[in-house]
Structure 1
Amino acid sequence: MKSNIIVLVLGALMLFSCGAENSVRKAEQSLALGEYFNAAQMYKKAYSQTPPKERKLRGERAFALAECYRKINYTSRARGAYQNAVRYKYHDSIVFFYLAEMQRRDKDYKNAAKNYEIYLAHKPADKLAMNGLISAQNARKWKEESSGYKVKKFDMFNSRRSDFSPMLLGDDQLFLSSTRPQAKGDKLNGITGVKNGDFFVCKKDEKGKWTKPEVITDAINSEEDEGACCFAPDGKTMYFTRCREDESYPRYTEIFKSTRSDASWSTPTACVLTKDSLSSYAHPAVSPDGQWLYFVSDMPGGEGGLDIWRVRITADDNFGGVENLGAPINTPGDEMFPTFRPNGDLYFSSNGHPGMGGLDVWCAKQDSLKAWTLNRLGYPLNSEGDDFGLTFDGIYNRGFFSSNRNDGHGWDHIYSFELAENILTVQGWVYEKDGYELPQALVYVVGNDGTNQKISVKGDGSFVVEVKPNVDYVLLGTCKGFLNHKQDFRADTAGVTKEYVLQFPLPSISRPVLIDNVLYEFDKADLTKESETELMALVTLLNENPNITIELGAHCDYRGDEKYNLWLSQKRAESCVKFLIKSGIAKERLTPVGYGVTKPKTVSKKMLESFDFLKEGDVLSKDYIEKLPNEQQEICNSLNRRTEFRVLRTTYNMFEK
Structure 2
Amino acid sequence: MSKLIFIKILLLILITVPVLESFSQNRVMRRADRDFEKFRFSSAIERYQTVLENDPSNERAVKRLGDSYRLTNDPENAEKWYAKAIQFENIEPIYYFHYAQALRSNQNYEKARIYYGRYADLNPEDTRGQRLYDGMGEILDLISDSIGFEVENIGINTESAEFSPAFYQENGLVFPSSRAPTPSKRRADSWTDQAFLDLYLTRRLREGGYSEPELLTGEVNQRYHEGPLTFTKDYTEMYFTRNFYQGRRTRVSQEGIMKLEVFHAILKDGKWEVQGPVFGDVEYSTAHPTLTEDGKTMYFSSDMPGGFGGGDLYVVHKNEDGEWGEPENLGESLNTEGDEVFPFIHPDGTLYFASDGRVGLGGLDIYRAVPNGDGSWEVTNLGPPINSSGDDFGIIKSEDKKWGYFSSNRQGGKGDDDIYRFNKLIEIYIEILVLNRLTELPIDSVLVNLINKETGDIVEKLTGEEGIVSFRLKADKEYEITTRKSGYTADDELTISTVDIDTSTNLQKVISMGRLIAGEVFQLRNIYYDFDRYNIRPDAALVLDKLVEILKEYPEIHIELQSHTDSRGTDAYNMVLSNNRARSAVDYLIKKGIDRERLTFRGFGERKLVNDCAEGVPCSEAEHQLNRRTEFEITKGLE
TM-score by length of 1: 0.57
- Equivalent positions of 1:46-61 (< 5 A) are 46-49=51-54, 51-52=55-56, 55=57, 58-61=58-61
Partner of 1:380: 385
Preserved contact between residue 313 and residue 340 of structure 2 (Cα < 8 Å): yes
- 1:171 equivalent in alignment to 2:176: no
Unaligned runs of 5+ in 2: 1-20, 427-501, 504-639
- For residues 202-239 of structure 1, give each alpha carbon's deviation from its aligned partner in whole angstroms, at most 9, with x where no partner exists: 12446575323222242211231111111122321111
| Displacement after TM superposition at 1:160 (Å) | 1.5
CA distance, structure 2, for counterparts of residue 328 and residue 27 of structure 1: 40
Partner of 2:404: 399
CA distance, structure 1, for counterparts of residue 90 and residue 319 of structure 2: 51
- Equivalent positions of 1:278-317 (< 5 A) are 278-317=283-322
Q: Equivalent residue of 2:240, what SS? A: strand
| Displacement after TM superposition at 1:420 (Å) | 5.5
Preserved contact between residue 259 and residue 282 of structure 2 (Cα < 8 Å): no
Preserved contact between residue 66 and residue 82 of structure 2 (Cα < 8 Å): yes
Partner of 1:65: 65
Preserved contact between residue 225 and residue 242 of structure 2 (Cα < 8 Å): yes
Distance 1:46 1:119, change over 3 A: same
- 1:417 equivalent in alignment to 2:422: yes
Preserved contact between residue 331 and residue 376 of structure 2 (Cα < 8 Å): no
CA distance, structure 2, for counterparts of residue 319 and residue 47 of structure 1: 52
Preserved contact between residue 288 and residue 344 of structure 1 (Cα < 8 Å): no
| Displacement after TM superposition at 1:417 (Å) | 1.2
Preserved contact between residue 280 and residue 298 of structure 1 (Cα < 8 Å): yes
| Displacement after TM superposition at 1:305 (Å) | 1.3
Partner of 1:477: none
| Displacement after TM superposition at 1:119 (Å) | 1.9
CA distance, structure 1, for counterparts of residue 25 and residue 139 of structure 2: 41
Partner of 1:654: none
Tell me which amino acid in the other structure corresponds to 1:116.
Answer: Y
Preserved contact between residue 42 and residue 191 of structure 2 (Cα < 8 Å): yes
Distance 1:281 1:70, change over 3 A: same
Distance 1:149 1:204, change over 3 A: closer
Distance 1:289 1:216, change over 3 A: closer
- 1:80 equivalent in alignment to 2:80: yes
Partner of 2:329: 324
Partner of 1:260: 267
- Equivalent positions of 1:133-144 (< 5 A) are 133-144=133-144
CA distance, structure 2, for counterparts of residue 146 and residue 208 of structure 1: 26
Tell me which amino acid in the other structure corresponds to 1:364.
Answer: A
Partner of 2:157: 158
Tell me which amino acid in the other structure corresponds to 2:197.
Answer: G
Q: Equivalent residue of 2:117, what SS? A: helix
CA distance, structure 2, for counterparts of residue 230 and residue 241 of structure 1: 9
CA distance, structure 2, for counterparts of residue 201 and residue 420 of structure 1: 27
- 1:203 equivalent in alignment to 2:203: yes
Q: Which of 267, 272, 280 is 2:279 aligned to?
A: 272
| Displacement after TM superposition at 1:198 (Å) | 0.9
- Equivalent positions of 1:484-633 (< 5 A) are none
- 1:110 equivalent in alignment to 2:110: yes
Distance 1:82 1:286, change over 3 A: same
- For residues 480-539 of structure 1, give each alpha carbon's deviation from its aligned partner in whole angstroms, at most 9, with x where no partner exists: xxxxxxxxxxxxxxxx99xxxxxxxxxxxxxxxxxxxxxxxxxxxxxxxxxxxxxxxxxx
| Displacement after TM superposition at 1:60 (Å) | 1.7
| Displacement after TM superposition at 1:125 (Å) | 4.4
Distance 1:369 1:89, change over 3 A: closer
Partner of 2:130: 130
CA distance, structure 2, for counterparts of residue 41 and residue 240 of structure 1: 34
Q: Which of 30, 45, 57 is 1:40 aligned to?
A: 45
CA distance, structure 1, for counterparts of residue 380 and residue 50 of structure 2: 44
Preserved contact between residue 308 and residue 330 of structure 1 (Cα < 8 Å): yes
Number of paired residues?
Answer: 400
Partner of 1:149: 149
CA distance, structure 2, for counterparts of residue 76 and residue 235 of structure 1: 41
Identity %: 31
| Displacement after TM superposition at 1:185 (Å) | 3.6
- 1:347 equivalent in alignment to 2:346: no
Distance 1:142 1:208, change over 3 A: closer
Partner of 2:24: 19
- For residues 307-356 of structure 1, give each alpha carbon's deviation from its aligned partner in whole angstroms, at most 9, with x where no partner exists: 01122223444322121111211011110000111111110001111111
Partner of 2:480: none
CA distance, structure 1, for counterparts of residue 206 and residue 80 of structure 2: 50
| Displacement after TM superposition at 1:102 (Å) | 0.2
CA distance, structure 1, for counterparts of residue 117 and residue 350 of structure 2: 35
Unaligned runs of 5+ in 1: 1-15, 422-495, 498-657
CA distance, structure 1, for counterparts of residue 347 and residue 39 of structure 2: 36
Partner of 2:492: none
- For residues 357-393 of structure 1, give each alpha carbon's deviation from its aligned partner in whole angstroms, at most 9, with x where no partner exists: 1111111112444542212112111111111101222
Which stretch of the first structure deviates more once superposed, 33-42 or 197-206?
A: 33-42
| Displacement after TM superposition at 1:408 (Å) | 8.8
Q: Equivalent residue of 1:115, what SS? A: helix
Tell me which amino acid in the other structure corresponds to 1:69.
Answer: Y
- For residues 39-78 of structure 1, give each alpha carbon's deviation from its aligned partner in whole angstroms, at most 9, with x where no partner exists: 33333333334x23xx3xx122111121121112111111
Preserved contact between residue 217 and residue 271 of structure 2 (Cα < 8 Å): no
Q: Equivalent residue of 2:263, what SS? A: strand
Partner of 2:436: none
Partner of 1:119: 119
Larger-Rg structure: 1
Q: Equivalent residue of 1:320, what SS? A: coil
| Displacement after TM superposition at 1:111 (Å) | 1.8
CA distance, structure 1, for counterparts of residue 288 and residue 270 of structure 2: 24
CA RMSD of aligned residues (A): 2.8
- For residues 143-195 of structure 1, give each alpha carbon's deviation from its aligned partner in whole angstroms, at most 9, with x where no partner exists: 111111211111x2211111111111133210111111327942211111111
CA distance, structure 1, for counterparts of residue 82 and residue 341 of structure 2: 25
CA distance, structure 1, for counterparts of residue 372 and residue 238 of structure 2: 29
CA distance, structure 2, for counterparts of residue 399 and residue 408 of structure 1: 18
CA distance, structure 1, for counterparts of residue 275 and residue 47 of structure 2: 36
Tell me which amino acid in the other structure corresponds to 2:35.
Answer: S
Preserved contact between residue 79 and residue 99 of structure 2 (Cα < 8 Å): yes
Tell me which amino acid in the other structure corresponds to 1:334.
Answer: D
Structure number with the higher helix fraction is 1
CA distance, structure 2, for counterparts of residue 254 and residue 38 of structure 1: 27
CA distance, structure 1, for counterparts of residue 373 and residue 138 of structure 2: 32
| Displacement after TM superposition at 1:124 (Å) | 3.3
- For residues 228-274 of structure 1, give each alpha carbon's deviation from its aligned partner in whole angstroms, at most 9, with x where no partner exists: 1111223211111113587992242121111112421113522225x
Preserved contact between residue 285 and residue 340 of structure 1 (Cα < 8 Å): yes
| Displacement after TM superposition at 1:88 (Å) | 3.6
Preserved contact between residue 405 and residue 419 of structure 2 (Cα < 8 Å): yes
- 1:187 equivalent in alignment to 2:192: no
Tell me which amino acid in the other structure corresponds to 1:229.
Answer: L
Tell me which amino acid in the other structure corresponds to 1:278.
Answer: E
CA distance, structure 1, for counterparts of residue 282 and residue 159 of structure 2: 35
CA distance, structure 2, for counterparts of residue 47 and residue 339 of structure 1: 44
Preserved contact between residue 74 and residue 409 of structure 1 (Cα < 8 Å): no
Distance 1:130 1:149, change over 3 A: farther
CA distance, structure 2, for counterparts of residue 410 and residue 83 of structure 1: 26
